[in-house]
Chains A and B, each alone.
Chain A
Amino acid sequence: MTAPVVVARGLRKAYGDVTVLDGVDLDVGRGEVLALLGPNGAGKTTTVRILSTLLKPDGGTAHVAGADVLRDPGRVRAAISLTGQYAAVDELLTGEENLRLMARLAHLPSREIRTRSADLLELFDLTDAARRVVKTYSGGMRRRLDLAVSLLSRPQVVFLDEPTTGLDPRSRNDLWDVIRDVVAGGATVLLTTQYLEEADQLADRISVIDHGRMIAEGTASDLKRSVGSAHVEVVLRSGAAEQLPTDGSVPDVRRILADIERRGVDVESWQVRSPTLDDVFLTLTGRPADASDALVGASTSRES
């Protein structure tokens, strides 16, 4: 790893009796994409809010782009951009107005405000909708505008907090393409997500967080190895279910199905399943990313 641009040591945060962060350590190298993977309520958003100067930790230190988030938040803010779970754009302004407003607030030189806004609208495929009020945009368009706004100032570090949550698969793929371009531009990216696939698609490295602690770290293939690869899930007519590991290739799946046929069991249904976050959790923590986490996350989603 090159010299880290984002460094956090021992971050702690509690709301009353509820410990949200329990000593989080984090390093993101220059130009690297780190995915913070975890279920709702794991502490992902809290970590991002601390690193983006929105929230003071109870303990620990954090530096972003060489500046201390507590002592020198102004310098941190000049170097970062934050795209949250909510598309933080003004619904009553047009796409173009949103970009120009934020360009002014990002202190772009006045001659650049128009050109850069137009460029970003073009890059994010929003030129046709530029003069429309954001209220009329689809979810995917809003997220793209949100991301465009956050890139106006050419930030050193881009925080993406669950950038694709709630998007349909096509919009998600579009947004992934855009994020890849951002990464290709050389920005350092810290991405939070609940989806292993998203982390796999975008990140160089993945940190798995649960109950405010880092419980695993590695590349996508490291993590996948730790949970086993894909498997063929077979449900028998008797109700019994079986999971058979596979590498996902056509010959391997054909071999497994042929095997099942040979055994002559009565199959109700079957499918090939890739490892999911649930599988990672099951393996790493010995329990599923359970429903109670999801509920806690839903009621305090801004703190998760």
Chain B
Amino acid sequence: MTATALAPAPLTTRVPRGQVTRDTNALIWRCVRRSTRQVDSVFISVLLPVMLLLMFVYVFGGAIDSGGDYVDFVVPGIILLTAGYAAANTAVEVATDTTNGIMDRFRSMPIRATGVLTGHVVASMIRNAVSTALVIGVAFLVGFSPHASALEWLGALGMIALFVLALTWVGVAIGLVASGPEAASGFTFVILFVPYLSSAFVPIDTMPSVLSTIAEYNPITPVTDTVRGLLLGMPVGSAAWQAIVWLGAIFVVARVASGVLFRRAA
């Protein structure tokens, strides 16, 4: 081994312009690459909602009166479930980084270390774009027939993206708090059950009064109602701004909490 290859470099602290962006891009690349090496987990995050979709449409669907074609009613709920589940995986990814020491390495480097979190969030958005597209594809195969203009599609996809963004940051915060990847994965199950207490799968007015009250205040309800309204060409009403306020608030709180937790977790 030659000594020159290991000789220390002269000390410089000059940080070139655009370096923060380049660092963040490198960290995004890392997380996307990680996702491509875990195709199985992306696959499961699609498989599970697809199975639920088939079950709801063919098993329970006949027994649920949604005031129209049940497949049209349930698809928005299934899309949000997919998005939520995949976003929750971010918690596992972040917890893995904090427990195996690589987060310490990033922190001890001359970079803005929060770029690590940005990398995970961007990768989650990309994973979700893939899984959402797949689920919508399957939905069409089982008879989903939306009546949405291009603009309404755009609105619905925008709402889904905002939902994924907010939930992903919640996932980041959970991942930073969790004692390890296993604990963090518990979060994905919570996310899987929250939609059941909303308008995602059954109309709220069919629930017992206690549950319907909970469902009414479940933020997933206005989000589902907005996406459903837009896709089926029905009036959305106040659901849209309620959804935006809810998701905006969740995003801000989770984002700030993640920042604090990241700095604190030394």
Contact = CB atoms under 8 A, between A and B. Distances in A.
A39 interface: no
A188 B185 CA distance: 41
Given A82-B104, A88-B100, A92-B34, A105 B8 contact: no
Q: B interface, how many residues as a size bin?
A: 35 or more
Contacts of A82: 104-105, 108
A88 B38 CA distance: 19
Given A107-B15, A185-B6, A85 B106 contact: no
Contacts of B6: 123, 151, 154, 181-182, 184-187
Nearest to B4: A185
A283 to B, nearest CB: 34
12 contacts: A54-B108, A65-B11, A78-B11, A79-B11, A90-B34, A101-B29, A107-B16, A107-B110, A181-B6, A185-B6, A186-B6, A186-B8
B260 interface: no
Q: A interface, how many residues as a size bin?
A: 35 or more
Contacts of B11: 65-66, 75, 78-79, 156
B234 to A, nearest CB: 43
A78 B106 contact: no
Interface of B: 1-9, 11-13, 15-16, 19, 22-23, 26-27, 29-30, 33-34, 37-38, 100-102, 104-111, 266
Contacts of B33: 92-93, 97
A56 B266 contact: yes
A110 to B, nearest CB: 10
Contact of B8 (A53, A93, A178, A187): A187
Interface of A: 49, 52-56, 65-66, 74-75, 77-82, 84-93, 97, 101-102, 104-107, 119-120, 123, 133, 149-151, 153-156, 178, 181-182, 184-188
Contacts of A178: 1
Given A85-B101, A88-B104, A101-B29, A107 B19 contact: yes
B15 A120 contact: no
Nearest to B34: A92
Given A80-B108, A101-B30, A88 B12 contact: no
Contact of A123 (B1, B13, B22, B266): B1
Contacts of B104: 49, 54, 82, 84, 88
